[in-house]
Amino acid sequence: MSQTGDLMEIKEERITEKYVAAESLLSGFDHTPRLAKKRDLPSAPKKERSSGIGGGGRRFRSTTPGLAAQSTARPDGIRLIDRVNAIGGSDVLTSPLQASVLTSLRRAIATAMVVSDLYAAQTGLNEMLKDNLAGKLSSSQAKDFSELLAASALISLHVFANMASYQLATHQAELTESTIEIGPVQEVLTDNPQLALTGALWELDQDIALFAQREDELIAVVSAFLEQLMDAVVLRAENTPRLEAFKSVSYRVEADDFQIDGFTPFAKARSTKFVMSFKKPHQVVGNHIAKYQSMKLSKMIMAYDFERMLNPFAELGGFIFTFMGDGKPGTGKTTLIQMMAGLINDYCNNAGYPFRYENLSTDSIDSYQGKSAQNAKAFIRNIIDPHVIGFGTIDDIDQLAGKRGDRQSSAGQLEITAVLMESFAGANTVVRGNCTFGMFSNYPENVDDALRQRAAARFLVDGPQSREDYIDILHLLMGKNHKIPVGKHKLYETQQIKKAVHASYKKHSRPLEDGLAKVFDRVSKDVGKLDTLAKIGTYLKGIQDVDERFTGRSIKNITDAVKVRAMDFELPDEWMEKPDLFLTKDYDTKKDMIADLSKPITIEMVMQEINRYADSEFRYADKSDEVAIESAVRDMNRMEEAKRRYLAEKGG
């Protein structure tokens, strides 16, 4: 994840100064593979050139002694320019697409070299390199020197892959939506930036030779390689020291409208093209708390500041990064998604912000090992992109993400579970407040416990409940092609959100689930009215005594929900309609405006949120237990019937 740090402009002349070195790498270099296995490939053919035109340039060789000494294999001569130009036939002229690929690679290599130089100057690595060259590097500096070189190597690789992927994204979208499976990148070397780049380009040459026969395949292979390289670098960077200096500064290349924010992939800030049918709030009947919180969250997310890359709500406490909506089939989960996506889309259109919506569906589950995780990571990466407003949904999450320990869960489902758990509450998770993720399920009891607890907010989507709800939904779904009188009823009056939400919150002053109500009554009898933190803590411990899954994470989710209640206000509609009133103001001004609207936390808020959260956990546990009991009864009945038939046949 990127950090919110200073923005440093990379001058264009610094990049172009590196073009000669970058072109030399693309023209030809020798490399002996150390981590990846060499595959049998045809040599990169050279296109015939007219007389008078020079050759392919000088061969680039490593100038650092001892780097290839660990392998006895012969070095490969790599000529990427010739490899790319040979794609698609015998035409001696380079096609526009081939030129775009090579130009993008050259510029990305050059930019990576510049950022590596900036990092070296910032961390003192430059002086160590000079001392090492002169033989003056002391033994006490050896560890620092090695760590800085490794960090610089990873920085070079990620900047190269990040920028090249960004520049080729338009071609990838225009030519094909198919992907090519190339497998993980293995030749990730961290001795120094130079060797790191040659190792990566060696493996890219291998993949192009194996998988790219046509130009559209060339784009797909290069794009897939760059994505895999970024994933490999991010994984390696998690345990690599000395990277804070790189993460704390954002770099910008103005000519390309490209920004480097640590190890976060940069994507063109394009909105999603919608084919969704949006719903208006009055078209969501019932589900009052879920609707109210969805409407609030749709406005909260718009407070995101693109310059600071942070949302005041995320700093003040009250932003919902992940939530779970559960309810019986047909109670309105899809309608809720359509309403929330429609609101954010309209707000973004009005403000001129890019909005990206994406749903992680069961199509993401793949039998190919690692592909399901790759699909889930791409989904997360697209939504958390700090340069867009993002809304990601995972519908029917009980089918998509596997439950650990469940023999019915496939390897692909378990891969998705692992990615979601790490992304929603992992060591590297940074909540900026530009995006939110909604998980929806008809059977939340089938969702892995640890994953479900990563949903900070719970939306009970129980559909229409009252007589008025059913009249409203009947009128809504009937449409306009009738003249049937409504009768004694004011349409949608009970859907007035503030009145309905107040009543919905109030009913949670006491638990709704029988198991939790027993705990509540017992603790209240022992300590009296729950009106102090000590008494409330006794209640929480009582819940944990009967449900061991009620852990510290549960308390965090409850306190986050309480903070949301402290922000129990909707930003005025006028602020969304007229961006200059709020959206375009600077971060500190927006933060002060929000703080002025906040409310103090009360005992009633705390108790209602404890009961709302704990009710959901007891509801899930009861359903899970009932499903397990029914399954066991069916198994016993089958066994009894099998025994009866066996004895009957044996006796006959």
Give the pLDDT score at 67: 37
Start-end of CATH 3.40.50.300 domains in the chain? 281-629
DSSP codes of every residue in 534-552: HHHHHHHHHHHHH-TT--H
Q: Which of 5-19, 337-351, 366-380 has the lowest mean pLDDT?
A: 366-380
| CATH number belonging to domain 281-629 | 3.40.50.300
CA pair distance 525, 521, nearest whole angstrom: 6
Give the pLDDT score at 146: 96
Q: What is the mean pLDDT of residues 179-196?
A: 90
For residue 234, give both structure tokens: 């991010």
Residue 57 has pLDDT above 50, yes or no: no
Please write the tens of the pLDDT for every residue from 139-154. Answer: 999 999 999 999 999 9
Given 3-state DSSP classes, what are the helix, strand and coil percentages for the chain, each rounded to the nearest 5? Answer: 55, 10, 35
Please write the tens of the pLDDT for every residue from 190-232. Answer: 999 999 999 999 999 999 999 988 888 899 999 999 999 999 9
Share of the chain above pLDDT 90, in %: 45
CA pair distance 37, 39, nearest whole angstrom: 6
Give the pLDDT score at 356: 93
Please write the tens of the pLDDT for every residue from 533-591. Answer: 999 999 999 999 998 888 888 898 899 888 878 877 778 889 999 999 999 999 999 99
Chain center to CA of 467: 41
Q: Could you give the count of Cα atoms lying within 13 Å of 422 in the half-sphere of its Cβ?
A: 15
Please write the tens of the pLDDT for every residue from 101-111. Answer: 999 999 999 99
Query: Which of 432-441, 449-458, 614-623: highest mean pLDDT?
Result: 432-441
Q: How many residues does the chain have?
A: 652
Residue 49 has pLDDT above 50, yes or no: no
Query: Which of 48-57, 283-292, 413-422: highest mean pLDDT?
Result: 413-422
Angle (deg, nearest 10), helices 603-651 and 533-546: 10
Residue 44 has pLDDT above 90, yes or no: no
Please write the tens of the pLDDT for every residue from 595-610. Answer: 888 888 899 999 999 9
Q: What is the mean pLDDT of residues 352-377?
A: 86
Whether the predicted model's global pTM rises above the 0.85 cut: no
Closest to 262 measured CA to CA, from 351, 412, 162: 162
Across all residues in the chain, what is the average pLDDT? Answer: 85
Residues 6+ apart with CB under 8 A from 170: 268
Contact yes or no for 529/517 (Cβ under 8 A): no
Q: What is the mean pLDDT of residues 620-637?
A: 70
Residue 76 has pLDDT above 80, yes or no: no
Residue 63 has pLDDT above 60, yes or no: no
Place 466 in a pLDDT band, splitting at 50, 70 and 90: confident
Give the pLDDT score at 561: 83
Place 624 in a pLDDT band, splitting at 50, 70 and 90: low
Residue 620 has pLDDT above 60, yes or no: yes
Place of tokens 């399901």: 372
Give the pLDDT score at 471: 86
For residue 295, give both structure tokens: 């409407």
Give the pLDDT score at 404: 86
Give the pLDDT score at 378: 84
Place 371 in a pLDDT band, splitting at 50, 70 and 90: confident
**DSSP 8-state class, residue 141:** G
Residue 293 has pLDDT above 70, yes or no: yes
Residue 629 has pLDDT above 60, yes or no: yes
Q: Are strands 29-31 and 249-253 parallel, antiparallel or unpaired?
A: unpaired
Q: What is the mean pLDDT of residues 340-368?
A: 90
Residue 51 has pLDDT above 50, yes or no: no
Give the pLDDT score at 268: 66
Closest to 564 measured CA to CA, from 603, 606, 509: 606
Share of the chain above pLDDT 70, in %: 87
For residue 100, give both structure tokens: 């775009």
Give the pLDDT score at 433: 95
Question: Is the Cα dihedral 430, 432, 435, 441 positive or negative?
Answer: positive
